Amino acid sequence: MRHRPLRNAARGNLPSEPGPFVGRGAELAGLGRLLESSRLVTVTGVGGVGKSRLVLAAAAAVSAGASSGGRAQEQERYCDGVWLAELTSVRDAALLEIALAEALGLTDHTVRPPRAVLAEHLAGRRLLLVLDGYEQLVEETAVLVRELLRRSPGLRVLAAGRRPLDLDGERVLPLAPPAPEEALALLVERVRAADPGFAPDVAERAALAELCARLDGIPLALELAAGRLRTLSAEQVLARLEDRFALLTGGARGALPRHRALRTTIGWSHELCTAAERLLWARLSVFAGRFDLEAAEYVCAGPDLPVGGVLDLVGELIAQSLLVREETPAGVRYRMLETVRAYGAGWLESTGDAGRLRRRHRDWYVGLATWCELDWFGPRQEEVAALVGVELANLRLALECCLDEPDGLHLGQYLAGTLWFYWAGCGRLAEGRHWLERTLEGGDRPVEYETSRLKALWVLGYVAALQGDAVASMSALYECRDAAVRSDNRVAAAYAVHRLGCLALVSDDMGRAGELLGAALERYRAVGELNGNVLMCQVELAMAMAFQGDLAGAAALCGEVREVCEERGERWTKAYALYVLGYAALDAGDTAGARRLLTECVRINHAFHDLVGLVLALELLALVTAAEGDPAEAAVLQGAAEPLWGGVGLRLFGSGYFNAPRLACRERAAEALGAEGYAARAAEGRGLGREVLVARALRTPGERGGAVPSPRPSGRGGPLGAGRGRRVAADQP
């Protein structure tokens, strides 16, 4: 069957180029030809030769051609977009598949292996996957790429690394430094970026050309030299390089090995730094990916490097092209190129101070997670989500440090547990479970660390419940509850009872869910606990009440939650309260009120990448649309929600309670459209990408030209009456 692209789906995630792409026309054309004839193309070369910039330029050209104005063949080949996975900061092989899924924008709440999720997602798609910086996991990357290519006939991979993947069918493009004239153009352009008035005369251009030749034209070396040309002339830079070249080559003036030329340039840049700049360079090497000024000040400052001077030193390293300044969703961050970072890491190891700096780094990110957990229950929720997303590479590094240190396991349990809001609230269940299980593998720890272990246990139980893994969830939660009772930890016991109630709720045991959730709320009140978890417990209790017919009580309880959330600025839990309120409003026949509540719910869940909340709200909103008199649009929304269930993990298709809106919508829309008409519109919906689906769901009847809703009876005769409480043996589209 011929593949049909995801209409209006996201077309990729390529970043905008930081500056003009200079030269490399022949290499770019050659790379394009290789991509036409092979499904796996790898660009190889020494560090700093420009592999990343070349593959990004090629990918951008492919993306532009596929989206508009390109050849029909190219549009078909890459109709599902071009996606970049930056793997430089991934050190744990178990996170490789998770990193690729993240790059592709996948959210999966199931217990399926991430590799299976990737393969399923890519199986019917035509896209280009760009892999950059896989050297530290080359064997694992090769195995994964081979499997994905085998199972996904429409997939093409463009990789950049210092060595090939060595797979059958791989075409390798060894990247040499640019031609002399291109190297000179690149150097001049980089100097002009800092000094727009830079206009070298003939003699200066000759000196610059000699400088390019001495540096073998390696782009990173030229970048570093450009930083020096802000204060030195080309002749002065050449003179200072001469001694280093002679030392490393025994005085020979022949062509240098390229790796030595780059290392020489980095080493020369290192020598030209002040002692304080060199010290900061070495200490910054403990960061993974991006970092902010506050983190740099905490981790790197000390008696020999005053905190007040770090900002100026960062500015100097930026001026010398040793650091890059970037804008991120969480604000300004700094990044060190991997080759430069590795050089600094070598110096840090030689000082014997690397272990202390890694622990400082770990402590900063444990503190950051602590503050983020507190801020999650407040108006900065979206900022917190963005912040943790930007800092994820460093948080992973901190977790690894906890696992590597003999006395750090309890910190790892604390950190993995403290990030519960990110694992559960931002679509990161698989990664959260990975870290929670790893930190709990060490067995029992001294009593003074029991609190951290108990927190990791109840969070693991929560994550497993959301994944639909009842056995693992119960195991962790019972262990947590029993240990909490033995140690008289009333807070941990409350959380364990709460999450057991949550598990009963998603398992359709509403009577037991009500008992456990009510008991958990009493325990929370007894210990004075109030946060997003406590409010979510109230919402979950309200769901159990609503599903058992007490809609008035459920609405009252969620009305209280909504008020507290609005007081605090909390939005994630509020979205679930809005779902229950929308459920009650629709059951009462208030379609306009239900739509207002549910559209806000959809916006919030989509912003947080909460797939569970999103799909539940979308299905209820589809029923609202049917009740408004637009069965065709309801069928489209219902069909569009169906593929989302594949990534949810909760086995709710068979739930007599959570499935009621879905059944009611299908029955009502199919009655109006006929079986074939409903199937056609639902199939149309299944082809929508998530962004388009959300935008379409948020349209009002007036915006889509829908029918005016007719009055409906309230209570059990309302829109929800047809499906509530019915157990579903099988679910067919």
For 604-648, the pLDDT digits (tens) are: 999 988 888 898 999 999 999 999 999 999 999 999 888 887 766
pLDDT greater than 90 at residue 553: yes
Asked which of 282-286, 432-436, 668-672, 704-708 is least confident by mean pLDDT, the reply is: 704-708
pLDDT greater than 80 at residue 10: no
Render pLDDT for 339-376 as a digit per residue (tens, 0 to 9): 788 889 999 999 999 999 999 999 999 999 999 999 99
pLDDT greater than 50 at residue 714: no
Whole-model pTM: value is: 0.83
Parallel, antiparallel, or unpaired for β 290-291 and 82-86?
Answer: unpaired
Angle at 602 between CA 598 and CA 605, to 5 degrees: 130
Q: Average pLDDT of 679-697?
A: 89
> Which ranges in 352-391 belong to alpha helices (H)?
354-376, 381-390
Please state, for a pLDDT cut of 70, what percent of the chain lies above it. Answer: 87
Predicted confidence band at 72 (pLDDT cuts at 50, 70, 90)?
low
Predicted confidence band at 700 (pLDDT cuts at 50, 70, 90)?
confident
pLDDT given at position 1: 33
E-assigned strand segments in 37-190: 40-44, 82-86, 127-132, 155-161, 171-174
Cα 255 from chain centroid (whole Å): 44
Greater model confidence, 258 or 323: 323
28-63 burial, b for 16+ CB within 10 Å, e for fewer? eeebeebbeebbbbbbbbbbbbbbbbbbbbbbbbbb
Taking the CA atoms of 130, 614, 507 and 664 in sequence, report the sign of the dihedral they define: negative
Asked which of 11-25, 114-128, 206-220, 573-587 is least confident by mean pLDDT, the reply is: 11-25
**CA atoms lying within 13 Å on the CB side of residue 598:** 29
CB 549 within 8 A of CB 564: no
